[in-house]
């Protein structure tokens, strides 16, 4: 009997090894075939073994190299890391050919390292699952829901203003990033789960820390493509760290989901005259919470399981916090560096509020047309997401070149947005770039801060509303002065666009 068990274990072990070897051989074959097809595609010269890895690993110079490559090649070009080809699309026409089509909706390899954090939420999911989730999540960003979120934005921003008053009393330039980071974390935690971060040791703070750790590990794997193979990665210390933080994240989110389910059930049972709680949430009569809206849409787990809800909440928190914070920071920085443009924003705000210190309404925010153009221009120069990746799920032909199935595509909005054909004087901060008459003359895929096509960012209105609320509130009380000149501001691409030395500003109290 023992011998039979040992023989069975040996057979299973051999079968497992053969499957792994077979999978590796198929992967190598597919890569070699793809590499041979792409040999004809033009691109910059690279090392015979490392390819263009040096340019990708040099984060501070990656945009410099990308801009140089755009000058050399028309619509797109090929690069590589080791023997892994990467095609960079750099003209609006080439970008449109990829992201405007559902057939190329698979995200690229750089997202593989983020799957322990995001699971199969909207950013990473495919096919019928993506379609179902997109359909269910879209109503959570309805106008009435956003109006409920606005109340959170205003309350939390007013709390930050109390902290900023101490900054206005100093003569020193101060990094605004810690303040806006805490603020946007409160935005996300309260709108996603119902409560802001109460303290550094709170459960919300713990989950945010775990998310950041998983993001760091994901970036670590992205720039070391061999670690994207799980059978290699599992032998590293980072793998054990990843499991630790993933367990923290999943355990906490699952607990919150159950708490929200119980709270929703209790509210439905206790509402007088059998009021329909779900209907009131969607009509904006009650405070909207993203997790609640997903639970209400789940139909007792038939459409969205607890795991589905967890993945979408984690995706919302990850995608929403950093991008919103950076949009606020870069807009404040650019206004502080361009006093004449900042003056025009002050004039617009004075006309809307006429010296009143009341909270803004949705109508007030809609009337901030010039500030809205400033925010869009800030996102042109400093898009929060500097690189978008896709993987071809069907063969594509562009400019007579064959691009095979499985090819990884990179789109670099930071460089795309600086196309001098689409944006004359591309380095200038010019909000008039977004006057309707200028927008109508540009290629629709020349400006994609929230991506574009079927997989565009579903939360872009949420982000724009949050940014406009924060920036307008600060400018109603202060003039902003930025310390660094544009040439001294160093930004590097991670999962988001990071200012390496923060955003240093000085606040000058306005004399109303």
> Pseudo-torsion of CA 429, 499, 328, 287, nearest 10°?
150
Cα 255 to Cα 496: distance, rounded to the nearest angstrom? 29
- pLDDT score for 274: 44
- pLDDT score for 22: 59
Does 325 fall in a domain? Answer: yes
Binned at pLDDT 50, 70 and 90, residue 17 comes out as: low
Cα 48 to Cα 33: distance, rounded to the nearest angstrom? 18
Mean per-residue pLDDT for 372-381? 98
- pLDDT score for 20: 52
pTM over 0.85: yes
Cα 16 to Cα 34: distance, rounded to the nearest angstrom? 27
Cα 135 to Cα 297: distance, rounded to the nearest angstrom? 10
- pLDDT score for 206: 78
Does 183 fall in a domain? Answer: yes
Does 498 fall in a domain? Answer: yes
- pLDDT score for 55: 87
- pLDDT score for 33: 76
Tokens of 318: 């990850």
Mean per-residue pLDDT for 196-204? 62
> Is it the case that residue 129 has pLDDT exceeding 50?
yes
231: exposed, middle or buried (Cβ count in 10 Å: 0-12, 13-18, 19+): exposed
Domain assignment of residue 184, given as a range: 29-509
Does 5 fall in a domain? Answer: no
Binned at pLDDT 50, 70 and 90, residue 212 comes out as: confident
Binned at pLDDT 50, 70 and 90, residue 512 comes out as: low
pLDDT in tens, 422-462: 999 999 999 999 999 999 999 999 999 999 998 899 899 99
**At how many degrees (to 10) do helices 203-222 and 237-270 cross?**
140
Look up the CATH number of the domain holding residue 466: 1.10.630.10
Of 90-94, 110-114, 250-254, 383-387, give the lowest mean pLDDT range: 110-114
Does 17 fall in a domain? Answer: no
Does 10 fall in a domain? Answer: no
Binned at pLDDT 50, 70 and 90, residue 511 comes out as: confident
Number of domains making up the chain: 1
- pLDDT score for 19: 54
Helix, strand or coil for residue 506?
A: strand
Highest-pLDDT range among 228-237, 360-369, 384-393: 360-369
Tell me the pairing of strands 401-403 and 504-509: unpaired
> Is it the case that residue 81 has pLDDT exceeding 90?
no
Does 16 fall in a domain? Answer: no
Instruction: Give the closest residue to 87 by CA, choosing from 442, 397, 443, 419.
Output: 397
| Between residues 420 and 287, the one the model is more confident about | 420
- Does an H or E element contain 409, and which? strand 408-411
Residues 362 and 149: beta-carbon distance below 8 Å? no
Please give the sequence-ordered ranges of beta strands (E in DSSP) within 146-297, or none if there are none: 174-175
Instruction: Give the closest residue to 125 by CA, choosing from 111, 136, 138.
Output: 111
> Is it the case that residue 8 has pLDDT exceeding 60?
no
Tokens of 416: 């795309």
pLDDT in tens, 139-156: 888 878 888 899 999 999
Tokens of 255: 């607990």
Q: Which residue has tokens 């590589």?
A: 80
Tokens of 309: 């809800």
Does 22 fall in a domain? Answer: no
């Amino acid at each position: 009997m023992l011998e039979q068990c040992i023989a069975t274990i040996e057979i299973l072990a051999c079968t497992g090894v053969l499957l792994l070897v077979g999978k590796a051989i198929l992967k190598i074959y597919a890569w070699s075939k793809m590499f041979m097809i792409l040999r004809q595609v033009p691109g910059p010269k690279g090392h015979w073994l490392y390819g263009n890895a040096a340019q990708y690993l040099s984060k501070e110079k990656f945009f410099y190299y990308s801009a140089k490559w755009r000058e050399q090649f028309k619509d797109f070009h090929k690069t590589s890391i080791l023997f892994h080809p990467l095609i960079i699309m750099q003209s609006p026409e080439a970008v449109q050919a990829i992201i405007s089509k559902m057939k190329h909706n698979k995200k690229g390899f750089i997202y593989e390292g983020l799957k322990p954090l995001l699971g199969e939420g909207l950013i990473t999911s495919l096919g019928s699952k993506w379609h179902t989730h997109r359909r269910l999540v879209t109503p959570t960003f309805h106008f009435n829901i956003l109006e409920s979120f606005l109340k959170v934005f205003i309350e939390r921003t007013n709390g930050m203003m109390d902290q900023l008053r101490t900054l206005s009393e100093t003569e020193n330039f101060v990094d605004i990033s810690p303040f806006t980071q805490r603020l946007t974390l409160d935005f996300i935690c309260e709108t996603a789960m119902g409560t802001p971060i109460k303290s550094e040791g709170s459960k919300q703070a713990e989950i945010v820390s775990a998310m950041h750790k998983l993001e760091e590990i994901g970036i670590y794997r992205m720039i070391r493509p061999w670690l994207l193979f799980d059978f290699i990665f599992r032998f590293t210390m980072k793998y054990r760290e990843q499991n630790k933080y993933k367990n923290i994240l999943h355990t906490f989110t699952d607990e919150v989901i159950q708490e929200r389910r119980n709270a929703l059930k209790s509210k439905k049972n206790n509402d007088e005259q059998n009021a329909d709680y779900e209907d009131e949430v969607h009509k904006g009569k009650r405070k909207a919470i993203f997790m609640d809206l997903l639970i209400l849409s789940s139909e007792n787990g038939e459409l969205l399981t607890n795991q589905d809800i967890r993945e979408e909440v984690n995706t919302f928190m990850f995608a929403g916090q950093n991008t919103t914070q950076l949009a606020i920071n870069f807009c404040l920085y650019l206004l502080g560096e361009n006093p004449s443009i900042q003056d025009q924003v002050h004039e617009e705000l004075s006309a809307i509020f006429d010296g009143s210190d009341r909270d803004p309404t949705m109508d007030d925010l809609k009337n901030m047309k010039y500030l809205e153009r400033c925010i869009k221009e800030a996102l042109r120069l400093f898009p929060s997401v500097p690189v978008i990746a896709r993987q071809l799920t069907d063969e594509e032909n562009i400019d007579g070149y064959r691009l095979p199935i499985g090819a990884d595509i990179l789109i670099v909005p930071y460089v795309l947005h600086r196309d001098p054909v689409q944006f004359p004087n591309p380095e200038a901060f010019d909000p008039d770039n977004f006057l309707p008459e200028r927008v109508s003359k540009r290629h629709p895929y020349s400006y994609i801060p929230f991506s574009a096509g079927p997989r565009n960012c579903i939360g872009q209105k949420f982000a724009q509303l949050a940014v406009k609320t924060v920036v307008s509130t600060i400018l109603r009380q202060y003039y902003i002065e930025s310390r660094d000149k544009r040439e001294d501001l160093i930004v590097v691409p991670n999962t988001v666009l990071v200012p390496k030395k923060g955003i240093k500003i000085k606040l000058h109290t306005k004399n109303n």
